[in-house]
Amino acid sequence: MKALVIYFSRADENYFGGSMKYIEKGNTEVVAEFIREITGAELFKVERKVPYSKDYMTCIKEAQDEQKRNELPELAKELTDINDYDTIFIGGPIYWGTLPQPMFTQLSKLDFKEKTIMPFSTHEGSGLASIVRDIRKFAPTANIKPGLAIVGSNVNSSKPSLKRWIDEQL
Ligand SMILES: Cc1cc2nc3c(=O)[nH]c(=O)nc-3n(C[C@H](O)[C@H](O)[C@H](O)COP(=O)(O)O)c2cc1C
């Protein structure tokens, strides 16, 4: 198996079960790195050309406005092909019920024909929300496996459940 993880993750100010704190590494990045440890996958981090604000409440509003306008924001750099990989993990935080819009900018540039997709999220209660359905729009013929949702504040202890999910699905 040759695997790639395409993910979005935001450090800076974030919300953890009732309080705000500044973090150095986003929750989804912790998960992406565990997937690399388990599978040897390579990582591609999707980054917005103009990052969301560090301030949580401002970021919430920016992401909501962008989603309402169905905007595909420009990225710092784009991945142009995934020919070398057969399995693609696609993940990110849940932003207003789905993946952050920059993920859709990236997915819209790729051809997922004959790929296996492993969807995952980190979240504060929404689970996978509508990410599987939304990924399907960009990968109509891919083999999309059941996804895994991890609560943001539990990411540091998520490696065993990630391993179980990967062993079961691949
Ligand atoms: C703009 C924004 C919108 C969010 N919307 C949701 C949501 O709809 N449902 C949910 O469960 N969590 C929501 N969250 C919480 C994040 O999904 C959660 O904190 C996630 O683990 C952050 O991942 P990251 O640190 O990799 O960016 C939202 C967070 C932000 C910043």
Q: Tell me the pTM.
A: 0.97
Q: Tell me the pLDDT of the chain (170 aa) as tens digits.
A: 899 999 999 998 888 777 888 889 999 999 999 999 999 999 999 999 999 999 999 999 999 999 999 999 999 999 999 999 999 999 999 999 999 999 999 999 999 999 999 999 999 999 999 999 999 999 999 999 999 999 999 999 999 999 999 999 99
- Alpha carbon 159 to its chain centroid, in Å, reads 16
Q: 102 CB less than 6 Å from ligand 1?
A: no
Q: Based on the structure, what is the number of domains in the chain? A: 1
Q: Tokens 């391993």 sit at which residue?
A: 163
d(C-alpha 110, C-alpha 155), whole Å: 28
Atom of ligand 1 nearest to the CA of 60: 1
What end-to-end distance do the CA atoms of the chain give, in Å?
Answer: 9
Atom of ligand 1 nearest to the CA of 26: 25
- Supply the CATH number for residue 127's domain: 3.40.50.360
Q: 91 CB less than 6 Å from ligand 1?
A: no
Q: Tokens 């440890």 sit at which residue?
A: 37
Q: Name the 3-class secondary structure at 28.
A: helix
Domain, as residue range, for 80 = 3-169
Task: Tell me the pairing of strands 19-23 and 12-16.
Answer: antiparallel
